[in-house]
Amino acid sequence: MLDLDHLIVFLSGPDAVPALDGFSLDAGMRHEGQGTRNRRLPFPSAYVEFLWVDEPEVAGLGFPQRCSGAGTGFGVVARGDLPAGDFTDYTVPGGGPALSLLTASLTDLSLPFVGVFVTDDPDALRPEHRAPAQALRHPCGARDLVAVQVSCPTPPSVTVHGVTFVEGPPGARLTLDGAPGLRL
């Protein structure tokens, strides 16, 4: 079974990070060797990653196109056992858990970007085990990310617990515990 690790929202730059009143966004990080930077909206079980390209000359994986508004502006990274399907192994620059990418999502921008952290212990990757406790507290009362619905022109055939892919114009809807949902 696959659990949601994070939802990626591809953006044109840092100024496009939405203002989320009542939520705690972290300062983010630069992905050395990947050409991207982010800010994150963390919850105990998963997080939302607002991602943009800051070094176009090294960015790959279709991120420059996705961040410029081409195709579906969303991605899902899960954690757990690799499901059946055509996946491409990817080595994260600087290390990190083993990552496999849905091969079709690397070139077909109508699909959301899909990756899987392949691990025998998916629970160890949960933000509640990696992020400072204060980063998981949101003034609006949101306690966790319960479910994500990703709308896209071509839904992938991957099943991720807590994620629903539906056909339609690009968008994402978050269901939260303790607070009203969010639309991105």
Q: Is the pLDDT of residue 113 over 80?
A: yes
Q: Is the pLDDT of residue 60 over 90?
A: no
| Domain count along the chain | 1
| Mean pLDDT taken over the chain | 94
pLDDT score for 98: 84
Rounded Cα–Cα distance for residues 113 and 106 (Å):
7
Provide the domain limits for residue 54.
Answer: 2-183
Q: Which two tokens stand for residue 99?
A: 């990552």
Pairing between β-strand 171-177 and β-strand 182-183 as defined by DSSP bridges: antiparallel
Q: Is the pLDDT of residue 133 over 80?
A: yes
Q: Is the pLDDT of residue 181 over 80?
A: yes
**Residue pair 64/80 in contact by the 8 Å Cβ criterion:** no
Quickly list H helices, the chain: 63-67, 103-107
Whole-number Cα distances in Å, 7 to 57, 58, 110: 24, 22, 16
pTM of the model: 0.96
Whole-number Cα distances in Å, 167 to 42, 67, 164: 27, 20, 10
pLDDT score for 80: 94
Given phi > 0 = left and psi -120 to 50 = alpha, else beta, which region is 27? alpha
Q: Is the pLDDT of residue 26 over 80?
A: yes
pLDDT tens digit string along 73-101? 999 999 999 998 999 999 888 777 889 99
What strands, in cross-sheet order, belong to the sheet with 113-118? 30-31, 36-42, 47-53, 2-10, 74-80, 113-118, 99-102, 87-90
pLDDT score for 96: 77
Q: CATH code at 118?
A: 3.10.180
pLDDT score for 59: 86
